[in-house]
Amino acid sequence: MATEVLVPVLGESITEATVGEWLKQPGDKVAADEPIASLETDKVSVEVPSPVAGVMGQHAVAVGDTVQVGAMIATIDAAGSASAPAPAQAAAPQPAVTESPAEPAGDAVALSPSVRRAVLEHGVDPATIKGTGKDGRLTKEDVAAAASSKSQPAAAPAAAGTASDGGAASAGRAGTGRREERVKMTRLRQTIAKRLKEAQNTAAMLTTFNDVDMTAVIEARAKYKDLFEKKHGVRLGFMGFFVKAATMALKDIPSVNASIEGDEIVYHDYADISVAVSSPGGLVVPVIRDAQDLSVAGIEKTIGDFGKRAKDGTLKMDEMKGGTFTISNGGVFGSLMSTPIINPPQSAVLGLHRIEDRPVVVNGQVVVRPMMYLALSYDHRLIDGREAVTFLVALKNAIEDPTRILIDL
């Protein structure tokens, strides 16, 4: 007897998803609660567990299909009762063919969402890679290593004779190795694009800059990082300082932490800080709830957990809802300066950038200091220039003198 596999509840206001990957193929044995497929929503990838133990039946939908919550996507047959799938039916989904020529079709090894995206990004054939993960499964590191060692394809030999007509000219162009590849945007990337464009069209965005001397924070981190990691089990980074300093500045300048709803301004007496972290499908922004009540250690633990689960594709949708203010650290990628885009319905976003030694004047003397540019993009409908500058100065003062963070000054 077959048991239907239904699309689970995906979260508040989420009614549909896209089939991202089949982790089990028809005929595979499955255990109860074992993931058999991954779905891509507007925010995260969600794994669909098997409701029972048995044998994977037929896929009712293919990779790339849009499915509604509650829809049947596959069946699980009782162990030993599954019949061999007909060749035509087994070949129907062929998810790799619809997504990218880099992925093998048919009975390919099941890939996790993050590994699948790495395969698409690097353009390698996972069937040729030996997995080092649990039970021989591929990891992102396996894919990256294979991509780095893959030799470049040799250029096609030039067509014989002279390219005197259109066909010959086309053949000559093909011989140069020029090629194009079309890959459908993931649902997450489509949502990111839509929201960012809506922010530009709606908000009266303006960006104000400042710079900050990172000397004191760098010295504090160097002095205490080993003790910090030993006590708290997490590395001491710079984001903990910036998030804590931002919560203090937001308390002083509440409009930066507010939002516009219709003809009303909504002020928040809490700071839910959205932090941009990298995932295989792009940047996502999980939220540190009540960051004003957390210590630097608590903030670092939360961010570290977000970063790990973003790479694994296991962030929950509820963790990315809300947020009153966003911090985006482009410095980890080497960015010197940027104008970040507001994350609606928030009214401001802080951009951090790389630290580099620059000459500055201190007490009348030119000295070299590790400096970072700060950028605050804000909705000018709500936040005045004076308030934006005041916020940045308060943040700068706290970072340049971290004792202020300790004594809430």
Positions marked catalytic: 380, 384
Report the C-alpha gap between 271 and 265 in whole angstroms.
16
Q: What are phi and psi of 228, to 5 degrees?
A: -60, -45
C-alpha to C-alpha distances, 254 to 258, 259, 293, 324, 384, nearest whole angstrom: 6, 10, 16, 11, 12
| Buried/exposed 84-98: b ≥16 CB within 10 Å, e otherwise | ebeeeebeebebbee
Three-state SS for 264? strand
Closest by CA to 195, choosing from 70, 102, 282, is: 282
Partners of 72 in beta bridges: 6
Measured CA to CA, the distance from residue 293 to residue 304 in angstroms comes to: 18
CA–CA gap between residue 31 and residue 49 (Å, rounded):
9
- Per the listing, tokens 């609606």 go with 344
Q: Show the tokens assigned to 189.
A: 């990337």
Which residues contact residue 69 at a Cβ distance below 8 angstroms, ignoring those fewer than 6 apart? 7, 8, 9, 10, 14, 15, 16, 17
DSSP assignment string, 100-140: -TTS--SSPPP--HHHHHHHHHHT--GGGS---SGGG---H
Are 370 and 400 contacting, i.e. CB atoms less than 8 angstroms apart? no
Structure tokens of 144? 């990256």
Contacts of 141 (CB under 8 A, 6+ apart): 132
Among 367, 383, 322, 373, which residue's Cα sits nearest to residue 350? 373
Residue 382 token pair: 């709500």
Rounded CA gap, 295 and 284, in Å? 23
- C-alpha span between 387 and 96 (Å, rounded): 52
**Strand 54-59, strand 325-329: pairing:** unpaired
The two structure tokens encoding residue 197: 């464009």
- Three-state DSSP state, 192: helix
Q: How many residues are listed for the chain in this entry?
A: 409
